[in-house]
Structures are given as C-alpha cells and as structure tokens.
Amino acid sequence: MNPLVKRTVRLSAIILLPLSIFSAFMWGRTPAMSILIGGILGLVNLRGLARGVEGLIGSNRPTGKIIFLSLLRLTALAFILGILFYYRAIDVLGILIGFTIVFAAIIKEGLRSAKEFPKE
C-alpha cells in the first residue's frame, strides 16, 4: 500500500475511534456506528482511488479494466449506503462526519507530503 495512504488510514483511525466512542456515550449506538461506517467507507474508497491512479500511471491511457473497476467501486458504495439508509441502520450526519474526517486526513497528509517533496 502507498505510504501516503497508510499515513492517512492511521490518522483517520486515530481520530475516528475516539470520536465514535465519545459519540456512543453521548448520543447512542447509531451515531457512533454511522461515524465508523462513514470513515471505513471513505478509507475503502480512498484505497480504490489510489489503486486506480497507480494503474493509470503505469499506462499511457485509461484501460477498460480501470474504468470498469472505478464504476464498480462507486456503484458498490452507493448500493451499500442505499441499503443502510433504507433500513435506517445509520444516521446521515454520522456518515457525513466519517467521510469528512477521512477527507480532512487526506488533505492534511497531502499537504504534509507536498511540503516534504524536494524542490528542484
């Protein structure tokens, strides 16, 4: 796995776990599980994006396999969220919080990586 993705997963876990435990004590099980599920789905999506980008770097143009896997990943994400919303197993705000935490971790680690990148 890409070191940038590893650092993002670690940072997200450090934030998501205590936040979901705090949420479980304050508001109950559903918001806590929603935050965790949103974070996990965000991290799985990030890993799929990283694989897609690595596949694009290796070739001159996008292959059908890469495009198909990207569409499959997004369809699976929408399907999972749709089922969870349909059965009211998750809270919309919790999912958004989980996704936002992962997004903030991606931005933070990206800025850190850009800062460490040697200038020519």
DSSP string computed for 78-102: HHHHHHHHHTT-S-HHHHHHHHHHH
Structural domain of 18: 3-115
Q: Is residue 120 part of a domain?
A: no
Q: Is residue 19 part of a domain?
A: yes
Spell out the residues 6+ positions from residue 66 whose beta carbon is closer than 8 angstroms to its own: 52, 55, 56, 59
Quickly count: other Cβ atoms within 10 Å of residue 44's Cβ.
15
User: What is the structure's pLDDT at 115?
Assistant: 85
User: What is the structure's pLDDT at 111?
Assistant: 92
Residue 13 identity (one-letter amino acid): A
If one counts the domains in the chain, the total is 1
Total-model pTM: 0.86
Q: Is residue 41 part of a domain?
A: yes
Whether the pLDDT of residue 106 is over 90: the answer is yes
Helices assigned H by DSSP within the chain: 3-27, 29-58, 64-86, 92-116
Q: Is residue 54 part of a domain?
A: yes
User: What is the structure's pLDDT at 99?
Assistant: 94
Q: What percent of the chain has pLDDT over 70?
A: 95
Spell out the residues 6+ positions from residue 97 whose beta carbon is closer than 8 angstroms to its own: 19, 34, 35, 38
Confidence of residue 87 (pLDDT cuts 50, 70, 90): very high
